[in-house]
Structures are given as C-alpha cells and as structure tokens.
Amino acid sequence: MTSGRGGLSEENFFEAVGGEAVFRRLVHRFYQGVAEDELLRPMYPQGDLGPAEERLALFLIQYWGGPRTYSEQRGHPRLRMRHVPFTVDRAAHDAWLRHMRVAVTELELEPAAESQLWDYLVYAAASMVNTAG
C-alpha cells in the first residue's frame, strides 16, 4: 500500500528508515531546537520538554507504521483539537518547520524517504495553524 503522496508505503516506512530509534532521534533533535526558541519554548511552560518529546515521538512512530502506543495511551490523535489552546500562527509554523528541517536533515535518510517525511511534516505544520497573522 502506498501513501497518498507517493514513495514508500506508510506500513513499511517505519521499518525502511530504521524504526523507532530514527523517530526518537528526529524528535529529540527537534526539541533541542525548541528548547532554545524564543517563540516556541513558551508553549511548553511545564519546564520539562520530555513529555512533549515522548508524545510527538509516539505519534510519528504510529503514523509511519510502528507500534500503536500513542493511541493506546492517548486515544485518537485529534491534533488540531490538542493544539487549540496554543497560538499557532505563521511565525510558529515557520519556527516549527525550521527546527524540524534541521532534525530531518541530520537523519541523513535516503532522498525519497526524506522527501516523503518532509512533505508530511510541511502538511502537518500547515494544518496546525489556528491564528491569522
């Protein structure tokens, strides 16, 4: 089964790129950038980014064909609903993608896999915008 965006199938993508370890590296590197970001960091007032890092890792692992731990622990992803309490404007969108771009690049995936992952992340970032400006 192929994804709607072409490339590797979502069922096989998780394993094809290296499984859980790759997604955990991606998300960890992303949150290293968030930790230093003046715009994004305040969206995580609890001080510890660890719980948010775990949730994003589990979500991406599940989305790309890995274990369904995210849904088992948290139910349906409902990403837009979960982000409603936060002001996600174009600047937040851009900052999120900037940190994710660094993280994706550092994975050094095969070009087709990198493109497929990046296309999804761009789509996901755009779908979280909930404030004009």
Residue 5's pLDDT is 41
Instruction: For residue 109, give the CATH number of its domain.
Output: 1.10.490.10
87 in any annotated domain: yes
Specify the number of domains making up the chain: 1
- Residue of 123, 130, 119, 117 whose CA lies nearest to 65: 117
Q: Length of the chain in residues, anyone? A: 133
Give the residue, 9 or 62, on which the prediction is more confident.
Answer: 62
Over residues 19-72, the pLDDT tens digits come to 999 999 999 999 999 999 999 998 887 778 999 999 999 999 999 999 998 887
5 in any annotated domain: no
Over residues 65-111, the pLDDT tens digits come to 999 988 877 766 555 445 556 678 999 999 999 999 999 999 999 99
- Residue of 46, 48, 55 whose CA lies nearest to 27: 55
pTM of the model: 0.83
Residue 2: pLDDT over 60: no
105 in any annotated domain: yes
Structural domain boundaries enclosing 80: 10-128
